[in-house]
Amino acid sequence: MASYETQTVERTDAIRADAFDMRHTFESGQPLTFHADYSEDGFSRNLAYSTGIGRISVSSSGNILHISHSGRYSRATARVEVIKRMGLNDDMERIYEGMNTDPFMDSAIRNFKGMRITENDSWETTMCFILSQFNNIKRIRLITRRMIERFGQPYSDGGTIISMFPSAEAVAGASIGDINACGTGFRGKYLKSAAKVCSENLDLKKLYGMDYASAKEALMELDGVGDKVADCILLFGYHKTEAFPIDTWIKRIIETVYFKGRNKSIKELHKFAERRWQPELLGYVQQYLFWNGRSLKVGT
């Protein structure tokens, strides 16, 4: 116990991060916000990991990203983890250059400069986006918090008990009544089914080594995971930036901006995006289209 306590000492680090806007990144509806222990102090977040390894908090000022970590994270590991999770390995100059095909994309880049695609735990992302269908972002967060409180394993962060993100095993073992009590609605049965598969038959970690198309096919075997949700999981859980999730917003925005408001099928929209932008940029294109279009209420 004594040695455990000494390992919970807070350590700090800082890295330079150009073209990184923490507010845009954290508020862009990606799952890391759903379980973050959230404090509005300048701008900082605690990332409570489902691994139980420890906690990493990040805050930003200018182009400096401050890291503070405890538990069994070494300084080097924490640093690598933050860089990976914040998408800091992505070359934004090159990405912006490829994305910027027209005035709307140009304004999206100007309005949301520094917004990164984050990389989140695969099960956590899967669960969050199963909950996302026919739902809104605020309520997805509400449900997720309740799931964390009810099913998350406790973790002691230097004496402060936090609840980790519930594992697939924990959700699979929960009764449908307890799951529904979190406000999941009709998605509860999908979630339980998917959790069971993910804890018994499908190793989500295996998808990291698979190409985009194969990984998508595997994910779509899960209950409650269709074309759009699979693309979200691949983008935000696996950082497969070929994924181009098309939701009601993206559909409306592309139809309005690029097709004079004419109705297009999801398939046609995928085809349009694939012809217009390089494959590895599609995830970023989608994220910028979505947030710029939403903030400008395009098509509404």
Distance between CA atoms of 73 and 55, rounded to whole angstroms?
8
Comparison of 13 and 223: residue with beta carbon closer to DNA: 223
Binders in 241-300 for DNA, by CB under 7 A: 245, 247-250, 265, 267, 286-287, 290
Comparison of 24 and 66: residue with beta carbon closer to DNA: 24
Exposure string over 225-251, b if 16+ CB within 10 A, otherwise e: beebbbbbbbbbbbbbbbbbbbbebbb
Q: Nearest approach, Cβ of 233 to DNA (angstroms)? A: 9
Contact 84, 92 (CB under 8 A): no
Q: Nearest approach, Cβ of 19 to DNA (angstroms)? A: 19
Q: Which stretch binds DNA (CB under 7 A): 12-20, 23-31, 207-215, 271-279?
A: 23-31
Q: Which stretch binds DNA (CB under 7 A): 24-32, 107-115, 148-156, 159-167?
A: 24-32
Q: Nearest approach, Cβ of 226 to DNA (angstroms)? A: 3
Comparison of 113 and 189: residue with beta carbon closer to DNA: 189
In degrees and rounded to multiples of 5, residue 214 shows phi and psi of -70, -40
Render 81-140 in DSSP notation, one character per residue. Answer: HHHHHTTTTS-HHHHHHHH--SHHHHHHHHHTTT-------HHHHHHHHHTTTT--HHHH
Number of H helices, E strands in the chain: 16, 7
Q: Which of 120, 160, 134 is nearest to 26 (CA)?
A: 120
For DNA, what does the binding mask look like between residues 207 and 246, x meaning CB under 7 A?
---------------xxxxxxxxx-x------------x-
Distance between CA atoms of 300 and 145, rounded to whole angstroms?
30
Q: Which two tokens stand for residue 266?
A: 């999801």
Question: Of residues 186, 200, 203, 295, which one binds DNA by CB under 7 A?
Answer: 186
Comparison of 152 and 224: residue with beta carbon closer to DNA: 224
Q: Nearest approach, Cβ of 72 to DNA (angstroms)? A: 31
In single-letter form, the type of residue at position 113 comes to K
Residues near DNA (CB under 7 A) are 28-30, 132-139, 142, 180, 183, 185-186, 190, 222-230, 232, 245, 247-250, 265, 267, 286-287, 290
